């Protein structure tokens, strides 16, 4: 069975958590496509060559979840040649047997416009900044909550206004706003949406 779940949304909205939970629940393969861009950004050198020569080892770096890697990913993701080099890999992954969940910024709009399920996971910038700040250590974090909020807004502006594959919901995506939902509530709602599409197959 080939069944693709495309999950898009801005940073720290909860799409990674939701994607992993869906993959576990249904036994689907999972790909965090942002890791591909983070790995390219952190390799350094020519980003296009880095994208073309990406290895499994590059995806296992222990600094790919850092704020620095996120900013690097956002910068290299604006380069059309980088996106093209990574698009084929993502499309092959999406149509593997047994089902696949991909999360990123342009999965439902560019990579997998024919996905069986498209979710756009979002939350207010303030809520997303607070989540990221708590991830970084809260009061012990190296950045203040205001600094993290400024970085979230800057990342949003870059992702939403880039010329190549800007971040936006696909026209037929289900919008899932997690601002006022617990993790369990958001996951349950997402699973319900996927199950309803599977039932309709």
Sequence ranges of the binding site for ATP:
9-17
Binding-site positions read 9-17
Token representation of residue 26: 């249904």
Strands 4-8 and 100-104, by their bridges, are parallel
Q: In what order do the strands lie in the sheet with 29-32?
A: 29-32, 100-104, 4-8, 117-122, 174-177
Which one, of 79, 94, 96, lies nearest residue 37 by Cα?
Answer: 79
CA distances from 106 to 98, 132, 149, 195 (A): 22, 21, 23, 23
SS3 assignment, position 185? helix
CA distances from 144 to 79, 130, 152, 187 (A): 30, 10, 12, 29
């Amino acid at each position: 069975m080939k069944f693709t779940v495309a999950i898009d949304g801005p940073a720290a909205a909860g799409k990674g958590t939701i994607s992993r939970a869906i993959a576990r629940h249904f036994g689907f393969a999972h790909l965090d496509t942002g890791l591909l861009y983070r790995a390219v950004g952190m390799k350094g050198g020519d980003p296009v060559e880095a994208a073309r020569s990406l290895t499994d080892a590059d995806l296992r770096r222990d600094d790919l979840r850092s704020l620095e890697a996120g900013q690097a990913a956002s910068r290299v993701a604006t380069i059309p040649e980088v996106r093209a080099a990574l698009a084929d890999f993502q499309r092959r992954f999406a149509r593997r047997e047994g089902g696949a969940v991909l999360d990123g910024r342009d999965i439902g709009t560019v990579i997998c416009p024919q996905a069986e399920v498209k979710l756009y996971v979002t939350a207010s910038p303030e809520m997303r900044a607070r989540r990221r700040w708590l991830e970084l250590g809260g009061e012990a974090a190296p950045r203040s909550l205001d600094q993290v909020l400024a970085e979230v807004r800057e990342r949003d502006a870059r992702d939403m206004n880039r010329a190549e594959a800007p971040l936006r919901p696909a026209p037929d995506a289900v919008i899932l706003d997690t601002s006022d939902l617990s993790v369990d509530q958001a996951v349950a709602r997402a699973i319900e949406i996927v199950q309803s599409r599977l039932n309709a197959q």
